[in-house]
Amino acid sequence: MTGALLALVGLFGSLSLVAFGGGNAVIPAMQHSAVAVRHWMTDREFLELFALSRLAPGPGSLIVTLVGQKAAGLVGALVATVAMYFPSCLLLHLVTRAWHRYRDARWRETAERGLAPLAVGLIFASGIAIMRGTEQGIAPVLLTIASTAVLTATEMHPILVLCVGGVIGAALRF
């Protein structure tokens, strides 16, 4: 139990400050650690937690809470959440205070352009990593492609797309 808690602190504490582009960026590393290294769950169970974190209200990054819960129950959920949010929130708090003091637009613009490609790559990688781990057969892959197309080309509400996906998954016995 204590071992699992320490592992959660080590995992999410280290991922917190490298989650460039948001919580999605570190999903492949999270999945690898939770499934292949620690054996807290199977790939399919990880997919369920991912699905749940998108269905629930609030930040999608709360998948961290669910991974902690699976690894070490309620305490694990709390420990994982604090480990993930504390470092990045503290950093952002300090940066915000500096931000209001110095305003060098040129530097900011360069930082934005430097991080954008990496953030884009990391979010694509998160989608592909989950697909590779969990989508057996052609039907789930087609569903992912269809969902991507609909969400890119239309303004349809994501929750509606997720619910349709759930119905399709249940009907086709994914």
Partner 1 sequence: MQREHAPPPSLAQITFVFFVIAMQSFGGGLSGWIRREVVQRRGWMPDQQFLSGLALCQIAPGPNSVNLSVFIGTTLRGGAGALAALLGMIGAPMALVIAMGAAVAELSTYPVVSSGMAGVGAAAVGLNLATGIRMARRGVRSTYAAGIALAATVAIGGFGTNFLASVVVLLPLSFAVAVWTRR
Site for partner 1 in 46-105 (CB under 8 A): 47-62, 65-66, 69-70, 74, 77, 81, 85, 87-89, 91-93, 95-97, 99-100
Beta carbon of residue 34, minimum distance to partner 1 (angstroms, whole number): 13
Q: Which two tokens stand for residue 157?
A: 């509400």
Residues 7 to 46 in contact with partner 1, rule: CB under 8 A:
14-24, 26, 28-29, 32, 44-45
The Cα 135–Cα 143 span in angstroms is: 10
- Site residues for partner 1, 132-151, by CB under 8 A, read 132, 134-135, 140-141, 143-151
User: Residue 36 CB, nearest distance to partner 1 (Å)?
Assistant: 9
Nearer Cβ to partner 1 (9/127): 127
3 near partner 1, rule: CB under 8 A: no
CB of 173 to partner 1, least distance (A): 5
Burial of 80 (0-12, 13-18, 19+ CB in 10 A): buried
Contacts 24+ apart (CB under 8 A), 57-65: 59/23, 60/23, 60/24, 61/22, 61/23, 61/24, 63/23, 63/27, 63/30, 64/12, 64/23, 64/30
